[in-house]
Amino acid sequence: MKNKVCFITGATSGFGSAIARRFLQAGNHVVITGRRKERLIPFQKEFGDRVAVVHADICNQTAMQQAIDALPEPFSNIDILVNNAGLALGLETADEAFLDDWNTMIDTNIKGLVAVTRAILPGMVKRNTGHIVNLGSIAGTYPYSGGNVYGATKAFVHQFSLNLRADLFGKAIRVTCIEPGLAETEFSLIRFKGETSKAEAPYKDVTPLSAEDIADSVLYVTSLPEHVNINRLELMPVMQSFAGLKVCRTLGPDS
């Protein structure tokens, strides 16, 4: 796969940065977005005119729509959209969580994703070609304490991806949801708002997935023949598995 136009949100670090690099190394044109412009500029220095930078926050729907509408040739006809931008904030239980954190996750993981999709999808439909890759999470399938709204946003991404496929029935447009497990990026550092000790704890004594692992997965699903659609791809490190159901034995009829 080469000579495609790829649009990647949240490309300043982690999965997004690695995915952008994989697509560029494969010979494609890439539009990269993110709030931290200083992290996007090195891509232009390295890959030149095959990179277009959109310095905008996906939560600002008006600015993002304007930026997409203003993309010059050869970036205007987007073949592949990777909705990567997203975050988790906090690990408090629902009764102690911060409402601002919940709203930020909803604005980014849901509202931002659907706004970018809605801006780009009509062009794909008009040309009857394209591939949308949404970055979900196993947190959208398997609940855990403290996952509350983050897991709910990723469950939305999972279901939204399936519903897109239903809406696009009869059209040559593919939709894939990539759902990673434990992966080591800046994710935990952002979740715990810079508290390094908390951010490092989930990865202690395990070999987690890497950003490059996820980038390879995205490149794989988008490189398949155009009649093949991977609906959902779930992946975990070997050292991670499904938790058993918990039973609280201190609660009962006499407690």
Which residues are catalytic, by number? 150
Q: Cα-atom radius of gyration of the chain, to the nearest Å?
A: 19
Look at the block and give the residue holding tokens 């992290």: 39
Q: Among candidates 4, 110, 116, which has minimal Cα distance to 69?
A: 116
Spatial separation of the C-alpha atoms in residues 102 and 176, rounded to whole Å: 25
Show the CA angle centred on residue 80, arms to residues 212 and 37, nearest 5°. 65
Biggest CA pair distance of the chain: 71
Q: Among candidates 172, 174, 84, which has minimal Cα distance to 136?
A: 84
Spatial separation of the C-alpha atoms in residues 219 and 80, rounded to whole Å: 11
